[in-house]
Structure 1
Amino acid sequence: MNKLSSVSSFSRRRAAVVLSLGAALAVALPAVHAQSPVASYPDKPVKIIVPFPPGGAADMFARLVGQKLSEAWGNKPVVIDNKPGAGGVIGTEVTAKSPADGSTFLMVTIGHAVNPFMYAKLPYDTKADLVPVGVVAQVPSIIVSGPALKGKSLKDLLAMAKAKPDELQYASSGTGTTSHVGAALIESMAGVQMTHVPYKGAAPALQDVMGDRVPLSVDIITSSLPLVKSGKLNGVAITSAKRSPKLPDVPTVAEAGVPGYEFVSWYMLLAPAKTPPAILEKVNAELRRMATLPDFRTRIEDTGGEVSSMSLKESNDYLNAEFTRWAKVVKDRNIKAE
């Protein structure tokens, strides 16, 4: 073989190797590109929007989740951004219109499933613009009464409501809030008619119940538990399917006179609808992992709640069932936004 043919042969072999490498890279690069959003996620600060003021249960759970996500991601920042107003609508709108890149999440509760049926129009499509990432916790409420009704059972209260429709009042932290719809569900299932007295928050509502200016309220256990234990409020019945270990002597609503009644507040993380599924899966996996951590469980159980752990599909099914449930209650009780 002469020198020229030897060089030519080497050039052909080198070209073949280059082509082979090029082909391999052409196959590999899309795969690397497809994985990169998750492999590098999060590559910028993440925020959890809370559509309520600081200090409430949604805010507390968002901060707990944010802390655990930050730790899992090597202390990358997870910021809690409170955007209260309009029963959660303001913060929800901000989230729905945020970039769908995994940088923005939203912590919601039952009002998210009530608002689409209570408001004539919302500035976002509740079902189309947001998707569930995972359920974080479920928290029961307590039917509480003031000093004047001490010793009265739920059956006694329902009898009073049936004897004089619309005379028995109940306080809530606002129209469409957990304390409102929990009581509305009792009215619907027990066939009674009470008068709703909305307040701007749980604190003033409970203050008036303690002062006997309004007879009762259906309040989330996180805020009412200390008041019941101190004797400032009477614990009439708890809304969960089973008794709370925090108040073992307080019967469930089902035990006390409304068979089949069960009502818990849930706290769910949502994301803009077009967030990449792989990112949703990654964050959902972190939520389910933190649900197994003893310190995380203890923090939630200390509030009277229970840790929840659901897959993306289970969370989606759960939320859809809540939409169906509250659509009926809103219609039955003719609940309208203020």
Structure 2
Amino acid sequence: MKTPFALLGLALCLLLAPAVQAQDSYPSKPIKIVVPFPPGGAADNFARLIGQKLGEAWGQAAVIENKPGAGGQIATQAVATAPADGHTLLVVTVGHAVNPSLYPRLPYDTEKDLQPVAKLATVPSVLVVNPAVPAQNLKELLALAKVQPDKLAYASSGNATTSHVAAALLASMAGVQMLHVPYKGSAPALTDLIAGQVQLMIDPLLSSAQHVKAGKLRALAISSATRSPLAPDLPTMAEAGVPGYAFAAWFLLLAPSGTPAPVVAKLNAQVARSLGAADLQERYTAMGAEAGKGTPAELQAFLAAEIRRYARLVKDTGMKAE
């Protein structure tokens, strides 16, 4: 006859068996990483870098699918309604935390339908202007904006994206009015900025640096609280004339809610190993990016706090989806 302890042990084994099996068999097919922006932007770059690493580690291809539009809602809904098995993932940035306050109705519940898996990166943004803009620094740019309300147009990667939030925050803190022109991604926004269709943009350093080096854009300030090693001569926004300004874009990897905890844990651990690899650290340094970290539970708390933070920003600035 089995003792109570033996029966308890058997029961625990039966309960844990499906979880162990889920972790051991994952991934059983290619992983799809959905990006809410066109190719070429920061989110797309991080998705491809981590996708390559996951493929190398597990022998299953990681396919990047770009689904831009509606401020990230199209891509987010697609993943929120996908099978919760860890084979469909989503890369999001600050806009994911802004959307619940910016849009009266979303086709998904931001906190209930998706869950954080890992943080991929944190990246400072840079304020860039078209060379034809007669401003050599941030103070001169803000002076122009004050005498010409809504005449200076700033591009963004779309409603509620990092570039939209960063510029709305700047306008609010500086007490100026500028016209918001949303695009479907950083690449088309930068194309129009270079062409002079819009005058400025606060864009992740990753995608703007090449255009600044080529002389197609002029950099005025970095958005982070400290200067970037990639541009040590470029002042922070606070140093350049807006005390207290600090903004950095973050990039999270999400999965549909209900994804088995062992699968989420396996993904989180592998992303951490990948971010620690020497070659990826070298790439991040070259992009001015900081590797992300945190457990799924810590990132869930982080995202909830960011949603509350940006709810206050939307209310205080009157930020709207254009």
TM-score (norm 1): 0.86
Which residue of 2 is the match for residue 70 of structure 1?
A: 55
Q: Is the 8 A contact 1:301 1:307 kept in 2?
A: no
**Residue pairs, 1:1-338, within 5 angstroms:** 28-73=13-58, 75-149=59-133, 152-338=136-322
What is the one-letter code of the residue matched to 1:160?
Answer: L
Indicate how the Cα distance of structure 1 residues 194 and 68 shifts in structure 2: closer, same or farther if over 3 A, else same.
Answer: same
The offset of 1:186, in angstroms, is 0.5
The offset of 1:140, in angstroms, is 1.5
RMSD: 2.5
Distance across 2 between alignment mates of 1:197 and 1:77: 36
Distance across 2 between alignment mates of 1:252 and 1:282: 38
Task: Note the residue ranges of structure 1 that are not aligned, 5 or more in a row.
Answer: 1-15
Task: Note the residue ranges of structure 2 that are not aligned, 5 or more in a row.
Answer: none
- Secondary structure at the aligned position of 1:225 is classed as helix
The offset of 1:146, in angstroms, is 2.0
Distance across 1 between alignment mates of 2:12 and 2:207: 57
Indicate how the Cα distance of structure 1 residues 67 and 171 shifts in structure 2: closer, same or farther if over 3 A, else same.
Answer: closer
What is the one-letter code of the residue matched to 1:87?
Answer: G
Q: Percent identity?
A: 54
- Computing the radius of gyration from Cα coordinates, the structure with the larger value is 1
- Secondary structure at the aligned position of 2:253 is classed as strand
The offset of 1:269, in angstroms, is 0.3
Q: Is the 8 A contact 1:161 1:168 kept in 2?
A: yes
What is the one-letter code of the residue matched to 1:63?
Answer: R
- What do the CA deviations read for 1:36-86 (whole angstroms, capped 9, x no partner)? 21233223332222222233222221121122122222x123322222222
The offset of 1:22, in angstroms, is 9.6
Which residue of 2 is the match for residue 6 of structure 1?
A: none
Q: Is the 8 A contact 1:150 1:234 kept in 2?
A: no
Distance across 1 between alignment mates of 2:12 and 2:119: 38
The offset of 1:290, in angstroms, is 1.4
Indicate how the Cα distance of structure 1 residues 43 and 260 shifts in structure 2: closer, same or farther if over 3 A, else same.
Answer: same
Number of aligned residues: 320
Which residue of 2 is the match for residue 4 of structure 1?
A: none
Distance across 2 between alignment mates of 1:336 and 1:187: 13
